Amino acid sequence: MDRNRTHRNRKRILAALHFTALFLTMAIICIPGLWIVLNSFRPTVEIMAKPPVWNPSFTLDHYRAMFGGAGEGGVPVFSYFRNSLIISVVSTAIAILIGMSGGYAFARYKFKGKSGYFVGLMLFRAVPGVALSLPLFIVFAKVGLIDTHLGLILVYVAMNVPFTIWLTDGFFRQIPKELHEAAEIDGCTRWQAFWKVEFPVAKSGVASAAIFAFLTSWNEFALASQLTRSVGSKTMPVGLLDFTAEFTINWGGMCALAVLMIIPALILTFLVQKHLIAGLTFGGVKG
C-alpha cells in the first residue's frame, strides 16, 4: 500500500514538473515573437513610456505609415517586399531545378568519389556569407551586377543549390528505382519516366526543399546588405535597417515590417512542415 502511494505521489510530482518545464519552454519560444507582433500595434509613445505601460492600446499607425508609401522619410516597404518576392521566387525556382538534377544524380547513379562530391558541394554552402560578400562585392561591382536583382538571384541560387541537393537526394532515394524501370518498360524515355513517375511521387518533398530555399533567400542579410544599395533592389531584411537612425530606432515601424516578413514564412512553413522534417532526416540518415 505504502509503496504504491509513494510511487503515485512521485508520478504526480514528475507530471507537474514536466508540465512546468514544457510551459516555460513554450513561453520562451513564443513570447519574443508575440512581443514583436504586439508592439507593432502599439503607439510609439506607449512603447517608449517610462514607467512601462502594461495595458496595451491598439493602433494601426505603424502599418498605415508602412503602407502609406515612401513619402517624408518613410520606408519604401512595397518596393522592398516586391524585391524580396522577385528575388526569392526566381532564385528558388532556379535552385530547385538545378538542385533537383544534382540530387537525382546522387540518388540514382553510382560513381567514384560520390561522397567526396557531396561533402565538397556542402562545403560551399558553409562559406560564411560575410567572407563571400567581400570578393563578390568587388567582382559584382566590376561586372555591373551590384545593386541588381540578377546579382542577388545568382548568389542565392548558388547558396541554395547544395542544400536542395541534400534534401532532394533524400527524397529520391526513398523512391524504389524499380519505379522508373517499370516506367521505361512501359514505354517512357528516361526523361518521361522522371517527370511522369518519379517527380510526382517526390513532389511534396521537392516542395519542402523549395520552401527551405525560399526562406533562406527571404531571410538572408549578410550578402544582401553589401550587394544591394538602392530602393530598386534592397530586400526586406536590409530594409529593416531603414528604421534605425543614428541614435534612435523606430521600434513600432520595425515591428510592423517584421510581421510582414514573418507572415509568408509562417504560412509556407506550416504547409510543408511534415515533409520538411522527413526530408532533413532522410537526406542525412540514409546517407
Partner 1 sequence: MTEVTLSNVVKKYGAHQAVHGIDLDIADGEFVVLVGPSGCGKSTTLRMIAGLEDITGGEVSIGGRVVNDLPPRERNISMVFQNYALYPHMTVRENLGFSLHIAKQEPAQIKTAVDQAAGILGLDELMDRKPAELSGGQRQRVAMGRAIVRSPDVFLFDEPLSNLDAKLRTQMRAEIKKLHQKIGNTIIYVTHDQVEAMTLADRIVLMRDGHIVQVGTPLELFNTPVDTFVATFIGSPPMNLVDGTVRGGNIQLTDGQSLPVPVGARGLVREGQDVQFGFRADNLMPLGHAVDEVGEIHQVDLTITLTEPLGTETILFTTFGGIEVQAKMFNPRPVRPGEQMTFRLVLDKCHVFDAASGTAIRS
Partner 2 sequence: MPRRRLPEWFLLLLPAIIVIAAVVLIPLIFSLYSSFTPYKLTRPSTLWKWIGTYNYEKILTDAKFWAAFGRTVLFLTIALNVEMLLGLGIALLVNKVTWGQRTLRTVLMFPMMFSPILVGFQFKFIFNDNIGLVNNVLQSMGFNVALPWLVDGKLAMFSIAFAEIWMSTSVFAILILAGLFAMPRDPLEAAKVDGCTPWQSFRHISLPFLMPFIYIAMTIRSLDVARAYDIVQIMTGGGPARRTELLWTLMSRTGYVDARMGLANAMGYVSILLSIFFTVYFFRKLSAARAEIGMGG
Phi (first) and psi of residue 249, to 5 degrees: -125, 135
34 makes contact with partner 1 (CB under 8 A)? no
Scan residues 157-186 and list those touching partner 1 (CB under 8 A).
Answer: 176, 178-179, 181-186
CB 207 within 8 A of CB 99: no
Residue 201 to residues 192, 196, 234, Cα–Cα distance (Å): 14, 9, 37
Please, what is the minimum distance in Å from the beta carbon of residue 93 to partner 2? Answer: 13
Scan residues 156-185 and list those touching partner 2 (CB under 8 A).
Answer: 157-158, 161-163, 165
- Of residues 64 and 286, the one with the C-beta less far from partner 1: 286
**To which residue does cell 513517375 refer?**
197
Q: Is the peptide bond before 51 cis (omega within 30 degrees of 0)?
A: yes
**Burial readout 126-154 (b: 16 or more C-beta within 10 A, e: otherwise):** eeebeebbeebeeebeeeebbbbbebbbb
Could you say which of partner 1, partner 2, none residue 189 binds, taking C-beta under 5 to 8 angstroms by partner kind?
A: partner 1
CB 206 within 8 A of CB 171: yes
Provide the mask over 202-241, with x wherever binding to partner 2 is found by CB under 8 A and - wherever it is not: -------------x--xxxxx---x----------x--x-
Please, what is the minimum distance in Å from the beta carbon of residue 107 to partner 1? Answer: 16
187 makes contact with partner 2 (CB under 8 A)? no
- Segment near partner 1 (CB under 8 A), from 32-40, 59-67, 189-197, 255-263? 189-197
108 makes contact with partner 1 (CB under 8 A)? no
Please, what is the minimum distance in Å from the beta carbon of residue 195 to partner 1? Answer: 11
**DSSP code for 43:** -
